[in-house]
Amino acid sequence: MRPEAELDLVFLWHMHQPDYRSPESGDYAQPWVYLHALKDYSDMAAHLERHPNIRAVVNFVPVLLEQIEDYVRQLSSGELRDPLLRLLDHPNPDELTAAERRLALSYCFRSNDLLMIKPFPAYKRLHDLFLILEGQDDCAVHYLSGSYFADLITWYHLVWTGEAMRRQHSLLADLMSRGAAYTRADRQALLALIRATITELIPRYRALAERGQIELSSTPYAHPLAPLLLDFHSAREAVPDLPLPQAPCYPGGRDRVDAHLGAALSSHQRRFGAPPGGIWPAEGAVSNALLSRLAAHGCRWTGSGEAVLGHSLAKAGKAYDRTRDLYRPYRLAAAAEPLLFFRDDRLSDLIGFEYAKWHGKDAVQHFTGELDAIRRAAPAGERLLVCVILDGENAWEFYPYNGFYFFEGLYRSLDEHPRIHTTTFSACLSDSGQMTRVAELPDLVAGSWVYGTLTTWIGAADKNHAWELLCAAKQGYDLVMGSGRLDPAGKAAAEACLAVCESSDWFWWFGDYNPPEAVSQFDELFRRNLRHLYQLIQLTPPDVLETPLSHGGGAPEVGGTMRRSS
């Protein structure tokens, strides 16, 4: 009897949040870093800890790790720079200012209504009272007591705890069962648990890596859309008639990509004791020029979306066949490394967007059935490689119990399957069976894991305008940095601010397919960062930075990786 085909499966969980810190004060404009740390980064570690035979790649963006460590310092010192944590720690909620009350009401119902509000009667009662007053002036809000706000801020943090935390810590079960009348002591106990959970987070992932269960990878420091920093025209490789910014290019883009890569490598070495073997580029966005820079920095593997592979094969005159083409590593004809791995978009999006609507057992059975169908379609004795890559935080609030039962069933099923083996990308590089299957790409069409294009970050009027403002600021930066006007500390501060301004997230949010309130918040923070950059380089910010950029103008985007926290 001929041997059955075998299937290697790589999960890459991409952990990313942009820099939410105010450039002027260091206060946090959004709470998503510490909320996802509590609910998702802690749960994802716990799933792996419960299933030690499961292998995976976990990708941390350095600017996220930096913020997690900043929260550890805040919580340890008591000098809180996150407004919501300050509310949780407030000694007397009866004395909240009008601004603090508005902040609490603005944020503390930003949870999945079906799974994070309605299942908890006490929290739902707070929400129902809010709905009565919603849209009225501050006078109406003053009818809400300090006790209301004490319970509200407590419940908000309770529903943003991970399922594993709830099963481990009796404090959470006690507070949730009581439902109301939370005291200062209750809130301080909850704050202490938050501090302990976030403090343990990075060491837990390092321990998983040190025992060989996971591979830790990185992304260029502040999550820049590197192909566009290198060449705006790379966006036209997949969409030839795409409108581009008036600026011909991003000034000094190659040096900036190298700076983000260098910072990522040193960050990883410092935090995890070794450089990463591979780099997951921001948004899976790749180009020939970016692969050249990755190779120059010693990167052994990288990855992107399935559509990029399809576009690249089509350019070479080959019709894309996913059964034949997708389930193997690739290298560019002109370079031995980095090796390229391509995401199975359909399987990844089933986890990211569909299985939350299913019963957990049915979702697990369907997913493993799909893997078996891929395996059975291969010739006998073949060794396939399936890559499932998605955000490691944004989907789970749409799953019952934060995905606990889905992951419990998924990891157990994969552990028990005789023909499916979870692995990592670096393990593939040392696996002779996989290396014999490496195929060659004559060329790479620039694109991302969203449709295989770069249109989510460039092409629409407001996105292009944002690039033009960034290019103008970068030209001023280059002039001042070369003038000798700034001392070393001033140069370091300016470069750090520039890196934040280069994040892909600002450009992602511009467009009429996103919620207007969220677009407005990111628009404002982007312009504040640009204004601060001008101030650091001792130039007057242009008046145009006082005017919102976003006026719509993007096409609706669905599927892919388009879900974001806020």
Q: How does pLDDT run across 390-406, given as a tens digit for each residue?
A: 999 999 999 999 999 99
pLDDT of 359 reads 97
Q: How far apart are the first and last CA of the chain?
A: 54
Give yes or no for a contact between 216 and 268, defined as CB atoms under 8 angstroms apart: yes
Contacts of 393 (CB under 8 A, 6+ apart): 15, 16, 17, 36, 39, 40, 41, 44, 565
Give yes or no for a contact between 451 and 311, defined as CB atoms under 8 angstroms apart: no
pLDDT of 4 reads 87
Q: Which residues of 356-383 are buried (b: 16+ CB within 10 A; e: fewer)?
A: bebebeebbeebbeebeebbeebeeebb
pLDDT of 2 reads 59
The pTM of the full predicted model, rounded to 2 decimals, is 0.96
Q: How many angstroms separate the CA atoms of 527 and 365, rounded? A: 47
Helix (H) or strand (E) holding 555: none
pLDDT of 350 reads 98
pLDDT of 96 reads 95
Beta bridge partners of 466: none
Q: How does pLDDT run across 350-394, given as a tens digit for each residue?
A: 999 999 999 999 999 999 999 999 999 998 889 999 999 999 999
pLDDT of 559 reads 31
Contacts of 519 (CB under 8 A, 6+ apart): 509, 510, 511, 550
Give yes or no for a contact between 499 and 221, defined as CB atoms under 8 angstroms apart: yes
pLDDT of 190 reads 98
Q: Residue 457, CB half-sphere, CA atoms under 13 Å: how many?
A: 29
Q: How many angstroms separate the CA atoms of 417 and 345, rounded? A: 23
Residues of the chain with pLDDT under 50: 552-566
Q: How many angstroms separate the CA atoms of 524 and 532, rounded? A: 12
Q: What is the DSSP letter of 351?
A: I
pLDDT of 551 reads 63
Please tell me the CATH code under which domain 6-16+219-224+277-441 is placed: 3.20.110.10
The angle, 0 to 180 degrees and rounded to 10, between the axes of the packed helices 461-481 and 488-501 is 170
How big is the CA angle at 507 (ends 504 and 510), to the nearest 5 degrees?
Answer: 150
**DSSP-H helix ranges across 231-277:** 253-272
Check whether the bond before 338 is cis (ω within 30° of 0): yes
pLDDT of 300 reads 97
Radius of gyration of the chain (CA): 24
Strand order in the sheet with 301-305: 301-305, 339-343, 330-332, 439-441
pLDDT of 3 reads 80
Strands 56-60 vs 6-15: parallel, antiparallel or unpaired: parallel
Q: Is 138 exposed, middle or buried (0-12, 13-18, 19+ CB in 10 A)?
A: exposed
pLDDT of 138 reads 72
- Which has the closest alpha carbon to 497: 33, 26, 45, 58? 26
Question: Given the structure tokens 């379609």, which residue do they identify?
Answer: 377
